[in-house]
Amino acid sequence: MWCIHINTWGLNSGGPGGGIYRTTDGGDTWEPLYKNGLPGGSENPVGKTAVAISHASPNIVYALFEMDSPALYRSEDFGDTWNLQTRNHDIAERAPYYTRMAVSTADPNELYFASVKFSISKDGGKTIESGYSAGGDNHDIWIDPTNADRAYGSPRWGCQYQYEPWKDFSAHCFTHCPDVPCGR
């Protein structure tokens, strides 16, 4: 859950009900995962959050939190326990707008973050490589579940495609998709 209040003079993101909740009965009941080691709840309020589940190893789950310093957590038991991987501003700059991440569909330790710039981790979020520009103002990222070498990014002006994006990530790594009608 996420609480946000936006005015023309600013915004306030986060609140005591914020955090990540889990259901194991199809939505009849929900449990707050701050009881399992994540931030959230009235004692440790958070803003916008993102969750990414590994396609290759579904028991591995990542949670990214908007906080005083963005925090990335990892669970290897589908959310029963959590470990803080890193606190890094680059993975959620301007978090109310950009709190997006994806896990490689081939490797549960490869993470990709869409924010003001793209960031990458190849060790489960312990270290982050940042500064990759794909047009800036990056709102989302998608990795093909059948081919981890195929990805799409969505900066404010449209869609970008890259084959093997993480092998040779350069300043203009994505190819603009002129025939795809998308954008912010």
CATH number for the domain including 164?
2.130.10.10
Q: Is residue 50 part of a domain?
A: yes
**Count of CB atoms within 10 A of residue 5's CB?**
10
Number of domains observed in the structure of the chain: 1
Least confident of 5-14, 60-69, 122-131, 136-145: 5-14
Q: Give domain status of residue 38, yes or no.
A: no
Cβ atoms of residues 92 and 118 within 8 Å: no
Residue range of the domain that includes 68: 46-176
- The model's pTM is 0.82
In this structure, what token pair is assigned to residue 133? 């520009």
Q: Is 18 among the domain residues?
A: no
122 within some domain? yes
Distance from C-alpha of 118 to C-alpha of 183, rounded to nearest angstrom: 17
pLDDT recorded at residue 91: 85
Q: What are phi and psi of 35, to 5 degrees?
A: -75, -15
Reported as a single tens digit per residue, the pLDDT across 116-161 is: 778 889 999 999 988 765 556 777 788 888 988 877 776 655 555 5
Antiparallel, parallel or unpaired: β 129-132 and 118-121 = antiparallel
Does 29 fall in a domain? no
